[in-house]
Structure 1
Amino acid sequence: MTEITTNSSVLKKRLLSLDVFRGITMASMILVNDPGGDHSYAPLEHSKWNGCTPTDLIFPFFLFMVGISIVYAMESRKEVTTDHNKLILHAFKRTVILLLITYVIRFFFQPNLAHMRIPGVLTRIAVVYLICSILYIKTSQKTRDWLFVIALVGYYIIMTFIPVPGVGYANLEPTTNLGAWLDRTVFTTNHLWADSRTWDPEGLLGTIPAVATGLFGIRLGTWIKRKDQEDSVKVTWMFVYGVIAVMLALIWDLFFPINKALWTSSFVLYTGGLATIGLALSYWLIDVRGHKKFTPIFVAFGANAITAYILADFIPHYMGKIRIGGKPIYNVLFAPYFSPVNASLASALFTVFCIWIVMWVLYKRKIIIKV
């Protein structure tokens, strides 16, 4: 069940830098998902196929933080109980709730089961959370490191060497790669991404490297939680790990391109490396150096991320129905005063602010809604 907590001690136990990092990522997600018009600056759009824009970093950063959160949420539980089945059942219940939230929202906006999309962002988060939770509970860090490597190398081999049925050769094109074929076979075209119906950016096969992104986060969370290392040493090695991951990704990109839709192995290393560098900076400034005056602005989003995610679907939807003098808000407040691209950006920032107000009220009342 969904849990609403008002105890301030819950906030104190959280890793503040992680909440800030999550909050910035959540605000960025709302910003890029809810432009007011059809025009956007290039960094606020996804890459067309190969490559990586700042917008492409948002989803993998979330999965990376899922891995870190697993460590912080489950380490104490692992210490007080040897009943792993109980821990796994708890993770399974959370996964089911996340999936229910996903499909209830989809049915609300499009009550047509015959064409409802089955894969999706929150769906992938739920599945990755469950798999990574089980791996964290049942395996050692050394085993998880090996699984991380096997997932990345194995996915590369699968995608670049196994011939695609009906095509006859392995390829990385949008509609003819092995992942696209598998999604059409399992889900049928009626239940894939509405913008294509021939492939899905959150498809089945991409779950393998997506789990690797979660394992990347678990590795970092385990490192941050170590008590036998000084904070300066932790941060230094976080920067080193991040830079090495990015460098390896750029090398791998030469023959297995960085690609969000395919969630390629190079994409896992590239985004995981950048996330590690970003969190290292956040951890050093906030948790180690104590620069916390600015943090509440972002913690309001980060501490209640799932609530913000849901509101990011509903608030823009109902804002779009509001009319001023018979005109949409966008055509009254933004379009007449800005260029098309800046009007779209201003509208998106306004949406972020509206959702932030709700999150700020929850934060000030010390209310955390968890699943």
Structure 2
Amino acid sequence: MTDTLAPDTLAIANPRRFTALDVFRGLTIFLMILVNTAGPGAPAYATLVHAKWFGFTLADAIFPSFLFAMGNAMSFATRKRIDTAPYLMRLFKRGAIIFALGFLMYWFPFVTRTDDGWAAIPFAVTRVPGVLQRLALCYVAAGLLVRWLDVRAIVIAGVVLLFGYWAILVFLSAPGMAYDKFGTVGTQLDLWLLGPGHLYKKDGGFDPEGLLGTLPAIVNVLAGYLAGLAVQRGPSLTRTVRAMTLFGVAFVIAGLAWSPWFPLAKKLWTSSYVLLTIGIDCIALAGIIALIELAGVKRGTRFFTILGRNPLAVYLFSELFVTAINLIPIGPDDGAYGGLYEWVGIAIFQRIAPGTFGSLLCAVAYTMLCWAVGWWMDRKGWILKA
């Protein structure tokens, strides 16, 4: 019967994962790799670089979009209710695997070059927080909340998390240090629990994926979950898309309105930043659904669904492979470029297009290599699931 239904009734009659979700997630992965692997030899375009502290760029919208997509997928995965024990076992097992993969990814390649040759990288200086680690913690926390809370309670929980995080920073940080990179209570908590050796090495000891910032990040997942429920339960997909767009605009306005008191800061994952990114994601997802599910536009969608169906595998490959090839010394002085990727970016792409555009071309080329890996896995039917 579903084959004869109009697309506008699809949300009720066939509550499956929309192609639009895989496109949304695939676009997020594409941009994530593009930002993370900017070509060497020249600065990247400013919008593809994270804001140094306060502010907002396109790069800052990517990580919360993946959290939003994860929550959206969670709403489809939990349609069929299962007993509590297997639900919790699956939830914690998947969270633990994702966390472990993130930790091992930062530890990779487990050895480093020294003047005396190769030496093992000790556990004591391996980063514990990280992108996948935050995904794992948010996934488990959101999974627990949506299991026992109804929609109204989930909204209340989100409000409590956002305002609670603001209050924690303001009242538990040293006076005047709530938004200071090293004085804020979040950094102090990370240093106390983990120590400087287990934190991000490129930001002076501050970790942008610190533990406290996980609290507001959970709201990005919850928002994605509620958006997924709206798509499945709405009486009309057209009306749902319109409502999602209006909510998105409202969230963007709310985030910008709050920012004078709680500045937009991806590295602090401020609550105003959460509202802004949720708004952007609602508008983006609504637009993608309108194009694909309502207007029936299919051309070009496979490019992104290849990434969106296998995001964990493609992301891990993108991080591990660039690290591995940069271990290969190359250049006239045996490693003058620092590694193979450095050489490719400088000796090839900077010659083709010197400057910022050459850096972008290098990043696009590497992103397409990662896409090719995703395409090959898709043809084999291989999906990496935690």
Q: Please, what TM-score do these two structures have when normalized by structure 1?
A: 0.90
SS for the counterpart of 2:97 is: helix
Per the alignment, residue 349 of structure 1 pairs with 364
SS for the counterpart of 1:75 is: coil
Tell me the CA shift for residue 170 of structure 1: 4.6
Counterparts of 2:201 and 2:349 in 1: how far apart (Å)? 29
Tell me the CA shift for residue 64 of structure 1: 0.9
SS for the counterpart of 2:352 is: coil
The range that moved more, 295-304 or 176-185, is 176-185
SS for the counterpart of 1:298 is: helix
- Give the counterpart of 1:334 among 345, 349, 355: 349
CA contact (8 A) 1:190 1:197 kept: no
CA contact (8 A) 1:67 1:218 kept: yes
Tell me the CA shift for residue 197 of structure 1: 4.5
Cα deviations across residues 143-176 of structure 1 (Å, max 9, x unaligned)? 1110001111111111123343xxx455211111
SS for the counterpart of 1:336 is: helix
Counterparts of 2:329 and 2:374 in 1: how far apart (Å)? 21
1:1-371 equivalence runs, <5 A: 13-37=16-40, 38-76=42-80, 78=81, 81=82, 83-110=83-110, 111-164=121-174, 168-226=175-233, 228-320=234-326, 321=328, 328-371=343-386
Counterparts of 1:150 and 1:301 in 2: how far apart (Å)? 34
Give the residue type in structure 1 aligned to 2:61: L
Distance 1:163 1:350, change over 3 A: closer
CA contact (8 A) 1:216 1:272 kept: yes
Tell me the CA shift for residue 13 of structure 1: 4.8
CA contact (8 A) 1:70 1:218 kept: yes
Identity over aligned pairs, percent: 32
SS for the counterpart of 2:129 is: coil
User: RMSD of the alignment, in Å?
Assistant: 1.8
Counterparts of 2:368 and 2:331 in 1: how far apart (Å)? 19
Cα deviations across residues 193-235 of structure 1 (Å, max 9, x unaligned)? 1113432111111111011111111111111111x51111000
Cα deviations across residues 28-78 of structure 1 (Å, max 9, x unaligned)? 0111111121411101100011111000001000111111111111112x1
Distance 1:204 1:318, change over 3 A: closer
Tell me the CA shift for residue 20 of structure 1: 0.4
Tell me the CA shift for residue 334 of structure 1: 1.0
Counterparts of 1:198 and 1:106 in 2: how far apart (Å)? 15
Counterparts of 1:358 and 1:196 in 2: how far apart (Å)? 31
Aligned residues: 352
CA contact (8 A) 1:46 1:55 kept: yes
CA contact (8 A) 1:162 1:169 kept: no
CA contact (8 A) 2:17 2:73 kept: no
Distance 1:332 1:163, change over 3 A: closer
CA contact (8 A) 1:45 1:55 kept: yes
Counterparts of 2:104 and 2:205 in 1: how far apart (Å)? 24
SS for the counterpart of 1:46 is: coil
The range that moved more, 339-348 or 18-27, is 339-348
Counterparts of 2:292 and 2:379 in 1: how far apart (Å)? 20
Counterparts of 1:246 and 1:40 in 2: how far apart (Å)? 26
Could you tell me which runs of 5 or more consecutive residues in structure 2 were left unpaired when the two chains were aligned: 1-14, 111-120, 338-342
